[in-house]
Amino acid sequence: MKIDILTIFPDFFRGPLDYGIVRRAREMGLVEINIHDLRAFTKDRHRTVDDRPFGGGEGMVLKPEPIFGCLESLGDVASREARLSPGAKQSVILLSAQGRRFDQTLAAELSALDRIVLICGRYEGVDERISEHLADREVSIGDYVLSGGELGAAVIVDAITRLIPGAVGNQASTRQESFTESSAGQAELVVDGPSSTCVSGGLLDYPHYTRPADFRGMVVPEVLMNGNHDQIRNWRRKTALAKTLRNRPDLLERVVLTAEDEELLNQIKLDQIKLAQSTTD
């Protein structure tokens, strides 16, 4: 996969894309990331990238010329029309608080493309003609306003790179992670991995522990050390459901739960009622 990032702060990316899985994926040639300085595509001696908004109002707006010029200089980017057609393998994305919210489903969709261009806005945003005529989608990394698109671009690059086959040493581990929907859209148990693990099926991941088994009196749940794969898998599924119920109940409304999950959820709710009763007694 080839990723180009268009920004007025190219140095921003020194660091975030140079560690861990992204670094390894770059070194292995699984992903090629190029950073482009928008100021190199200005024509005046002050290298001006912004201007006041038509109609008045606060702040400055990123001008269209450097962004159009930079994208056109890349040469091998398909036309907007081609990128919007079904099965297209390229996308030009404008980072924007007003865009579709980035999530694991979109990360998986983007990780299957060959070519991605990320346009980072700054100031009050970019000239609207970028989203109308140049980008094929707008993406937000959350419902808050950042000072620029660079952090969002780094987030997107990280999330999609780890989904490229070969980027993560044990690819099966990405299937059990939080939010990852199984291909069947169900929370079924994984069949080709260790039998004590379960896919998240769109829920939050189950809790993980490592050595020491007793750290300052905080002990690892006994069930994880008894070697009984069925019991471990059952405990993991139950704790993943409990954590999702506690922290992200909205996810439970979106996934299709198995009969076993429903049974575990009932147990969790009963446990909660018993706990609440015991604390009021």
Nearest to 80 by CA among 130, 135, 117: 135
Does 145 participate in binding ligand SAM (rule CB under 6 A)?
yes
Does 66 participate in binding ligand SAM (rule CB under 6 A)?
no
Nearest to 97 by CA among 155, 153, 132, 143: 143
Does 1 participate in binding ligand SAM (rule CB under 6 A)?
no
Instruction: Determine which residue in the list 95, 134, 167, 232 makes contact with ligand SAM, applying CB under 6 A.
Output: 95
CA distance 69 to 38: 9
Q: What ranges in the chain are assigned the alpha helix state H?
A: 20-27, 64-73, 80-83, 104-111, 129, 150-161, 172-175, 229-247, 249-254, 259-280
Minimum CB separation from ligand SAM for residue 160, in Å? 15
Minimum CB separation from ligand SAM for residue 35, in Å? 15
Asked if the peptide bond before residue 249 counts as cis, ω within 30 degrees of 0, the response is no
Minimum CB separation from ligand SAM for residue 113, in Å? 19
Instruction: Determine which residue in the list 44, 81, 144, 259 makes contact with ligand SAM, applying CB under 6 A.
Output: 144
Q: Bridge-partner residues for 140, per DSSP? A: 101
Minimum CB separation from ligand SAM for residue 67, in Å? 11
CA distance 8 to 119: 10
Q: Give the pairing of strands 137-140 and 214-215.
A: unpaired
Does 79 participate in binding ligand SAM (rule CB under 6 A)?
no
Does 122 participate in binding ligand SAM (rule CB under 6 A)?
yes
Does 97 participate in binding ligand SAM (rule CB under 6 A)?
yes
Residues 6+ apart with CB under 8 A from 271: none
> Which residue, 76 or 144, has its beta carbon nearer to ligand SAM?
144
Q: What ranges in 58-142 are assigned the alpha helix state H?
A: 64-73, 80-83, 104-111, 129
Nearest to 157 by CA among 37, 5, 11, 6: 5
Judged by CB under 6 A, which stretch of 48-56, 116-124, 165-173, 217-225 contacts ligand SAM? 116-124
Q: What is the dihedral of CA 227, 229, 234, 237, to 10 degrees?
A: 100
The length of the chain in residues reads 281
Instruction: Determine which residue in the list 111, 131, 140, 174 makes contact with ligand SAM, applying CB under 6 A.
Output: 140
> Which residue, 91 or 96, has its beta carbon nearer to ligand SAM?
96
> Which residue, 66 or 152, has its beta carbon nearer to ligand SAM?
152
> Which residue, 60 or 190, has its beta carbon nearer to ligand SAM?
60
Minimum CB separation from ligand SAM for residue 51, in Å? 14
> Which residue, 138 or 181, has its beta carbon nearer to ligand SAM?
138
Minimum CB separation from ligand SAM for residue 133, in Å? 16
Minimum CB separation from ligand SAM for residue 190, in Å? 33
Note the residues at the interface with ligand SAM (CB under 6 A): 95-98, 120-122, 124-126, 140-142, 144-149, 152
